[in-house]
Amino acid sequence: MILLGTIINSVLIIIGSIIGRLFQNIPEKMKDTVLQIIGLAVAVLGIQMGFETSNVVIVIVSLVIGAVLGEWLDLEHQINKLGKWVESLFKNRDSKVNSNSSISDAFVTATLLFVIGSMGIIGALDSGLRNNHDVLITKGIIDGFIAIILSSTLGLGVLLSAVPILLYEGAIALLAGLISIYIPEAALNLYIQEMTATGGIMILAIGLNMTGLTKIRVANLLPGIVVVGIVVAIIFPFQ
């Protein structure tokens, strides 16, 4: 089931939001420790995925070229700017119609945190291409804990963010599944293998960032996923 990971991710956000409203006085130290432990677990998942490569040169080339393109386009900054623009739209609307701003603030804040990032894209691609939901389930656990923290302070508006997550990740997974039908099986298998390894390095970086050990601009590495496809398309006829 292609959408299984997406559905689990959304459900865990809902569960986390409800728990957060039940336990509103969570100590800061506990929050920090839990997120750091999750970061370590995410790093281990990334390492595991990274070992799936059959040609580490493809991974290195894809990441380097992807990083150069991402830094040149400054994707991380552009994504953050888009997030702030979306947030400003909600705030402007709230000020005009005088609606319940706390709900929309919680919704926008949570949606931006859960949607913006490479883990959702990589996980959705993994679900669509090889029906593997480990990344999205791991992301769901992370999002669930973050939802607990957010809803304990911002309110149940955090729960509504499960809807755009379902649509966003589901669309990517379904599109990846459709595209895979038109690609030769051997080429698709090679791409999946190297995409998984390349994405694993990015997920390792996300985990290290969560622990506070690094500050890698992971969003700027995302073009590497496209570069993997180009490299595979070039070398596949010669294999």
CA dihedral (113, 221, 41, 30) positive or negative: negative
pLDDT digits (tens, 9 = 90+) for 200-232: 898 899 889 888 898 888 889 989 989 999 999
Task: Determine the Cα–Cα distance for residues 184 and 236; give it in Å rounded to an integer.
Answer: 10
Report pTM. 0.75
Tell me the mean pLDDT in the region 55-81: 90
Structural contact between residues 141 and 12, judged by C-beta atoms closer than 8 angstroms: yes
| Residue 104 DSSP code | H
Contact between residue 113 and residue 80 where contact means Cβ atoms under 8 Å apart: no
Q: What is the predicted pLDDT for the residue at 98?
A: 45
Vertex 163 angle, CA 122 and 221, to 5°: 20
Q: What are phi and psi of 147, to 5 degrees?
A: -65, -35
Taking residues 148-159, what's their average pLDDT? Answer: 81
Task: Sketch the domain layout of the chain as residue ranges.
Answer: 4-238
pLDDT confidence bin for 99, thresholds 50/70/90: very low
Q: Identify the CA nearest to 228 among candidates 78, 68, 75, 57.
A: 57
Contacts of 137-141 with CB under 8 Å at 24 or more apart are 137/5, 137/8, 137/9, 138/41, 138/42, 138/45, 139/9, 140/5, 140/8, 140/9, 140/10, 140/11, 140/12, 140/13, 141/12, 141/38
The SS3 call for residue 53 is coil
Query: 206 is written with which tokens?
Result: 């996300």
* Dist CA 146 CA 116 (whole Å): 14
pLDDT of amino acid 179 = 84
The H-or-E segment that residue 195 falls in is helix 185-211
pLDDT in tens, 112-140: 678 766 688 889 998 998 889 999 999 99
Q: What is the mean pLDDT of the chain?
A: 84
pLDDT in tens, 46-59: 898 899 899 999 99
